[in-house]
Amino acid sequence: MGMEQKGKIIISEEEIQGKVRELAGQISKDYEGLNPIIITVLRGAVYFMVDLTRYLTIPHRIDFLAISSYGPAAQTGGVRITKDLDLDIHDEHVLILEDIVDTGLTLHYLLRILKERGPASIKICTFLDRAAQRIADLHIDYRGFEVGEAFVVGYGLDRDEKFRNLQYIMAVEE
């Protein structure tokens, strides 16, 4: 399959890089001397993490986490961690990176699990925010762009596992 999906670029590569630099600057300032652990939720946020951390000017560590998603074949037992952290976050300053937060259901679960491990602090940074669809009441500390209703792909976001590698954000035709 090629990259034939039609759509409209809503956030350009330049805008993305500008915003990521801006976020990294803010995070570097806020986490000065704290040596945070940057946790990336697999898989979409990987692209964001790679760019963001390259602009950070403070020492930090990275780790990854994956959780199961609801779906047609979802297990009845409910959500679970499919790839856990390697680092111990107890007494550490934690920053969670997400590609997009919409309903907030996944993140709500994640926050609950991670808070039980006793981190010194825990904050959220999302590249895209679709607040109109929010159900879980979450505080987003760092936000790249607000997006509306359109289905978006690129910069880590996929449609049927495609288009993650686009360097811009595209609203696809439905």
Would you tell me which residues interact with another protein (CB under 8 A)? 69-72, 74, 78-79, 102-103, 105-106, 108-109, 112, 132-137, 149, 151
Structure-token pair, residue 42: 């697999």
SS3 13: helix
| Distance in Å, CB of 33 to another protein, minimum | 34
Residues 6+ away with beta carbon under 8 Å from 90:
117, 118, 119
Residues labelled as active-site residues: 102
Distance CA 5, CA 109 (A): 33
The residue among 2 and 71 lying less far from another protein, judged by its C-beta, is: 71
Q: What is the smallest separation between the CB atom of 83 and another protein, expressed in angstroms?
A: 18
Smallest distance from the beta carbon of 70 to another protein, in angstroms?
Answer: 5
69/6 Cα distance (integer angstroms):
27
Rounded to whole angstroms, the Cα distance separating 112 from 121 reads: 13
Which of residues 86 and 161 has its CB atom nearest to another protein in the complex?
161
Nearer to another protein, 55 or 145 (CB): 145
d(CA 21, CA 98) in angstroms, rounded, equals 16
